[in-house]
């Protein structure tokens, strides 16, 4: 196969950096361009070590900067677009979330067509499908159900519109007369070492005598390890580069899960951290229906205050539904079409994540000792 190159947007992020490391192992890959607004020094050091295998070009720039995108896409064979603002709490930052998640994706698609990039893979989200209510029950859902979120909260709404734009762009004519091939991947809730959501919960627990909060204990979900999501992107890229396999997946979306046991978000946090002495909060928690109505009242307060003050409620009805519903999906179609099988088992993923949590615990203890 001829030499080729790939651009990864959001390459400094939790998922993006893992995609870059797996990409470096791909045959005949000549160059990886990594684009993000800013890169941490330690990550740049990691990327520099990959240069023994492949050329790595670091580009710091804004996903909304057209000139930056043109330079990033010139001569590129494929785009993996992971750049996104992930925010399920805020209802006041709608403008910035919509700009980056939707407008940024549209600009990437336009630039790909202008610069003759034939392959575009989009990192979508489970939230494109829902859940639309805490009462909703979906077990081992699949792509043919065509589920769609009805929430207008910035994150799920922007991801839904962006995914629609990506899939609609499949078959678009490129400037040189070629054709654009697209697909989208919808990962479950992604966990693993470096997860900002896990970091948030662990830090709160560390400040509360290693006690984990119970918010979300009524959910049943199938979380997915970050390494397996990255692997699914590599397989989607291989499939779209294969003329025989590409027609099967062009313009399609795929749910990406793995063999992590179905469990609540609370149980996941506990299973990943119990080795380090974490425990679950005792006592009763707020009933879900009550949390739903409290969230509604808080949203009304935010709406009424908006002309004079931007108030973000501590939680919303969307977050209550997301955190307390039964919402699991099968990766059967990804297995059939992409040849996807998890690269990491549940035991491996759990151990890697637990080891990282252990490093947070040790860091916290060291800091606490210094302050005494």
Which has more pLDDT, 3 or 124? 124
Whether 1 shows a pLDDT value over 60: the answer reads no
Cα–Cα distances (Å) from 69 to 12, 72, 289, in that order, read 16, 5, 46
Residue 92 has pLDDT above 60, yes or no: no
| Structural domain contains residue 285 | no
372 pLDDT band, cuts 50/70/90, is low
Nearby residues of 231 by Cβ (< 8 Å), 6 or more positions away = 22, 340, 342, 343
CB 327 within 8 A of CB 138: yes
How far is Cα 232 from Cα 245, in angstroms, rounded to an integer?
15
Neighbours of 277 (CB within 10 A): 9
Is 318 strand, coil or helix?
Answer: helix
**199 occurs within a structural domain:** no
Number of compact structural domains in the chain: 1
* Helical ranges in 242-287 per DSSP H: 246-249, 265-273
The alpha carbon dihedral of 31, 32, 37, 40 has a sign of negative
> What is the chain's alpha carbon radius of gyration, rounded to the nearest angstrom?
21
- Going by the DSSP 8-state scheme, the letter that residue 275 receives in this structure is G
pLDDT above 90 coverage of the chain, percent = 85
Sequential DSSP letters for 64-131: T-HHHHHHHHTT-SEEEE------SS-SS-HHHHHIIIIIHHHHHHHHHHHTT--EEEEE--GGGT--
Rounded CA-CA distance 291/214 in Å is: 13
Are residues 138 and 328 in contact, defined by beta-carbon separation less than 8 angstroms? yes
- Burial classification of residue 165, based on how many CB atoms lie within 10 Å of its CB (0-12 exposed, 13-18 middle, 19 or more buried): middle
Residue 314 has pLDDT above 90, yes or no: no
Domain interval for residue 111: 4-191+223-258+328-344
Give the pair of three-digit tokens for residue 60.
């710091």
CATH number for the domain that contains residue 28 = 3.40.50.720
Cα–Cα distance, 126 to 327 (Å, whole number):
9
Q: How many CB atoms lie within 10 A of CB 289?
A: 12
Averaged confidence pLDDT in the chain: 94
pLDDT of residue 219: 93
> Which amino acids are annotated catalytic?
155
Contact 5, 29 (CB under 8 A): yes
Q: For residue range 189-233, list pLDDT tens digits in order.
A: 999 999 999 999 999 999 999 999 887 788 999 999 999 999 999
Q: What is the mean pLDDT of residues 56-66?
A: 96
At 316-357, the pLDDT tens digits run 999 999 999 999 999 999 999 999 999 999 999 999 999 999
CB 265 within 8 A of CB 323: yes
The reported pLDDT for the residue numbered 89 is 67
On whether residue 275 sits in a domain, the answer given is no
Check pLDDT > 90 for residue 159. yes
Q: Which residues pair with 173 in a beta bridge?
A: 179
Q: Report the C-alpha gap between 263 and 259 in whole angstroms.
A: 12
Q: Is the pLDDT of residue 12 over 80?
A: yes
For residue 277, tell me if it sits in a domain.
no
Residue 263 DSSP symbol: B
Is 300 inside any structural domain? no
351 within some domain = no
Token duo for residue 107? 């600009």
pLDDT per residue as tens digits for the range 273-299: 999 999 998 877 788 999 999 999 999
Has residue 102 been placed in a domain? yes
Closest C-alpha to 353, from 178, 210, 228, 184: 228
């Amino acid at each position: 196969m001829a030499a080729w190159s790939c651009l990864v947007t959001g390459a400094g992020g939790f998922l993006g950096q893992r995609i870059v490391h797996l990409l470096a192992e791909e045959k005949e890959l000549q160059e990886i361009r990594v684009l993000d607004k800013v890169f941490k020094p330690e990550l740049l050091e990691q990327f520099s070590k990959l240069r023994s295998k492949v050329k790595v070009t670091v580009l710091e720039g804004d996903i909304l900067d057209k000139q930056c995108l043109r330079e990033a896409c010139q001569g590129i064979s494929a785009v993996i677009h992971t750049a996104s603002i992930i925010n399920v709490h805020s209802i006041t930052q709608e403008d910035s979330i919509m700009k980056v998640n939707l407008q940024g994706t549209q600009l990437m698609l336009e630039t790909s067509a202008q610069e003759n990039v034939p392959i575009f893979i989009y990192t979508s989200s489970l939230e494109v499908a829902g859940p639309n209510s805490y009462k909703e029950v979906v077990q081992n859902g699949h792509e043919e159900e065509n589920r769609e979120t009805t929430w207008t909260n910035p994150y799920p709404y922007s991801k839904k519109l962006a995914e629609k734009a990506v899939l609609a762009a499949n078959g678009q004519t490129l400037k040189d007369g070629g054709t654009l091939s697209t697909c989208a991947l919808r990962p479950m809730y992604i966990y693993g070492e470096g997860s900002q959501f896990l970091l948030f919960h662990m830090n709160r627990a560390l400040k509360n005598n290693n006690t984990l909060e119970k918010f979300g204990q009524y959910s049943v979900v199938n979380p997915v390890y970050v390494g397996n999501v990255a692997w699914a992107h590599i397989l989607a890229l291989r499939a779209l580069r294969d003329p025989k396999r590409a027609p099967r997946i062009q313009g399609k979306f795929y749910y990406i899960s793995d063999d992590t046991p179905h469990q609540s978000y609370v149980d996941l946090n506990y299973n990943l951290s119990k080795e380090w002495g974490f425990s679950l909060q005792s006592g009763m928690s707020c009933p879900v229906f009550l949390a739903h109505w409290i969230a509604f009242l808080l949203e009304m307060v935010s709406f009424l205050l908006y002309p004079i003050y931007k108030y973000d409620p501590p939680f919303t009805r969307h977050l209550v539904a997301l955190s307390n519903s039964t919402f699991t999906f099968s990766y059967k179609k990804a297995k059939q079409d992409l040849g996807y099988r998890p690269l990491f088992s549940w035991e491996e993923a759990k151990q890697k994540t637990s080891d990282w949590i252990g490093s947070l615990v040790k860091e916290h203890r060291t800091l606490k000792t210094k302050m005494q």
